[in-house]
Amino acid sequence: MVFDVAIIGAGVCGSLIARELSKFFLDGCCLIDRYPEPGCGTSRANSAIVHAGYDAKEGTQKAYFNVLGCEMMEPLCRELHVSYKRIGSMVLSFDEADDGVLQQLLERGKKNGVAGIELLSREQVIEMEPNISKNVRGALYAKTTGIVSPYELSIAAAENAIDNGVTPMFDTTVHNISKQDDCFIIQTDNGEVKARYVVNCAGVYADRFAGEPGFKIQPRKGEYLLLDKRMGGYVNHVLFQTPTKAGKGILVAPTVHGNLLLGPTSEETDDPEDTETTAAGMQKIISSVLRTVPDIDLSMVITSFAGVRATPNTDDFLVRASDHVPGLINAAGIESPGLTAAPAIAKHVVSLLAKQGLKLAEKPGHKPRKPIRLLQDMAIEERNKLIRENPAYGRIVCRCEGISEGEVVDAIRRNAGARTVDGVKRRVRAGMGRCQGGFCLPSVIEILARELGVSPLEITKSGGSSVLLVEDIRRCAYDD
């Protein structure tokens, strides 16, 4: 079969592009990703910020898509039932040089068309953020900054795309793409995929398929620290320090689930999948945030993690139809503000495909995404009704987050569903609480094995060869 469109990469960009395309009649659209689930690359480990758009240089694609995407994010998250909060942000000034930077960012923001930005005085900042260092001099306040759950967004978009006819191809690594006449031949470890159009949103590997000589992705790692929910209210806005060449710097931000996030660092790395945290990295985060919040209780750290940015050597997104390869659309070099830009990029890619000749007839009756409803968010009568219909909703699997077996099963059975322990964690939060899966792990493995019809020995933490159980020791003498 020859697909109309093949999308390489089911991160937040690829998944949103797939979802947009699923609104049209197509002769097949497939969403290909090397991981078992969507959003497992850069989309999984980032600052989760929906940026206002004053940071990106004027006239760049980054600036354009950032500002657009920022406005699109709230209605999109509502449609997809993804956690989002518009909490605003501050870029803080601690010295005179910083003051100058704030002024520059203010002007840039205005040029980029960002609404709701203004400079705040020291007193205003301290009033709005009582835990901030008293050394602060002022801040650039942006009302439109938001926080979102990036993996929730990828998962929701991919699921909705598949609900509406997109063909998922997970656990599928693309090795090579070639073109024969008007047909792309995508060589994967699961065989060949043929398509008339290809959208390249392969994240840290996007330079391999961009067909763009001289275009290189330099992977850049960012480490983070995550604090307990008891610290979630320590600050009210996303707090930035002034940006440097390496990026927006280390921030302090509440997460949409109520934790506190510190980070990221910025280190170039040779390995596109280098998600190793380092003692030096953690130290850097700590010394940096102490400047912003000197009294923060660091014993509240519950975990650390790292993500890899797909930093392009062009300093800007590469969202355009390829000049060299007709039918190839690139959405590459999507580093910050990539998450924010993704909804806008998705719409733009669809228009690029149309310009390339893809016939797009709107499909009526696009199925909306069913929300993941957690019992803890329901009233007691509704919960009891659910439990009466299905007792699995009454059996608690994750004590820390109060998640039942029924909810874990739902997370597996949905389209773009969980295939791994981490996947379950990301969908229904079982394993994300204070004990970090210590209590629920055996149950989650058991449920995954049962639902996927495999031995518990095949269940992985996050795909690939990350199996959790190494040997079955249930030896016994007799035959069944």
Partner 1 sequence: MDNTKKITCIICPRGCIIDVKVENGEVKSIKGNQCRRGADYASTEVLHPKRVITTTVYVPAFDCMLPVRSDKPVPKEKIKDIIPVIKGLSIRRPVRMGDVLIRDIEGVNIIASSDMGMEQFQHTN
Partner 2 sequence: MTTDVLVIGGGPAGMAAALSARDNGADVVLIERDKRLGGILNQCIHPGFGLAVFGQELTGPEFAGRYIQRIRETDIKVMLGTIALSLSKDGTAVAQSEEGIQEIRAKAVVLATGCRERPRGAINIPGTRPAGVFSAGTAQKLINCCGYLPGKRAVILGSGDIGLIMARRLTLEGAKVEAVCEILPYSSGLKRNIVQCLDDFGIPLLLSHTVTRIFGKDRLSGVEISKVDESRKPIKGTERRIDCDLLLLSVGLKPEIELCVDAGIEIDPVTGGPYVDDRMETSAPGIFTCGNGLHVHDLADYAAEEGERAGKNAAEYAKSITKNSALAVKCYKVRAGRGVRSVVPQYVSSGEALISIRLSEPVNNAELLVLSGGDIIKRVKKLSFTPGEMVRIPVKGITSDVTVELKRKGVAAGG
Q: Using CB under 8 A, list all residues that contact partner 1.
A: 473-478, 480
- Which one, 42 or 66, has the nearer CB to partner 2? 42
Whether 51 sits among the annotated catalytic residues: the reply is: yes
Query: CA-CA distances (angstroms) from residue 332 to 173, 349, 447?
Result: 17, 11, 37
Site string for partner 2, 280-309 (x = CB under 8 A): -xx------------------xxxxx----
Angle between helices 12-21 and 338-355 (to 10 degrees): 40
Report if residue 269 touches partner 2, rule: CB under 8 A. Answer: no
CB distance 292 to 92 below 8 Å: yes
Query: CA-CA distances (angstroms) from residue 399 to 45, 159, 160, 410?
Result: 25, 27, 29, 18
Binder of partner 2 out of 58, 273, 316, 451 (CB under 8 A): 273
Report if residue 434 touches partner 2, rule: CB under 8 A. Answer: yes
- Which one, 323 or 478, has the nearer CB to partner 1? 478
Helix, strand or coil, per DSSP, at residue 230? helix
CA dihedral 313, 318, 323, 329 (to 10 degrees): 140
CB distance 456 to 445 below 8 Å: yes
- Which one, 245 or 474, has the nearer CB to partner 1? 474
Give the one entry of partner 2, partner 1, none that residue 94 binds, where binding means its C-beta sits below a cut-off of 5 to 8 angstroms depending on kind: none
Containing H/E element for 307?
strand 301-312
- Which one, 117 or 409, has the nearer CB to partner 2? 409
Report if residue 2 touches partner 2, rule: CB under 8 A. Answer: no
Closest CA to 310 of 215, 192, 450: 215
Helix, strand or coil, per DSSP, at residue 80? helix
Report if residue 457 touches partner 2, rule: CB under 8 A. Answer: yes
- Which one, 113 or 394, has the nearer CB to partner 1? 394
Q: What's the DSSP call for residue 189?
A: B
Q: Which residues pair with 328 in a beta bridge?
A: 198
**Least spacing, CB of residue 380 vs partner 2, in Å:** 5
Residues from 213 through 242 that contact partner 2 (CB under 8 A): 225-226
**Least spacing, CB of residue 251 vs partner 2, in Å:** 19
Query: Tokens for 380?
Result: 């007691």
Closest CA to 132 of 47, 235, 227: 235
Give the one entry of partner 2, partner 1, none that residue 384 binds, where binding means its C-beta sits below a cut-off of 5 to 8 angstroms depending on kind: partner 2
Give the one entry of partner 2, partner 1, none that residue 286 binds, where binding means its C-beta sits below a cut-off of 5 to 8 angstroms depending on kind: none
CB distance 162 to 31 below 8 Å: yes
Give the one entry of partner 1, partner 2, none that residue 441 binds, where binding means its C-beta sits below a cut-off of 5 to 8 angstroms depending on kind: partner 2
Report if residue 278 touches partner 2, rule: CB under 8 A. Answer: yes
Q: What residue ranges bind partner 2 (CB under 8 A)?
A: 225-226, 273, 275-279, 281-282, 301-305, 380, 383-384, 387-388, 391, 394-396, 399-400, 402, 404, 434-439, 441-442, 445-446, 456-457, 460-474
Instruction: Write out the catalytic residue numbers.
Output: 51
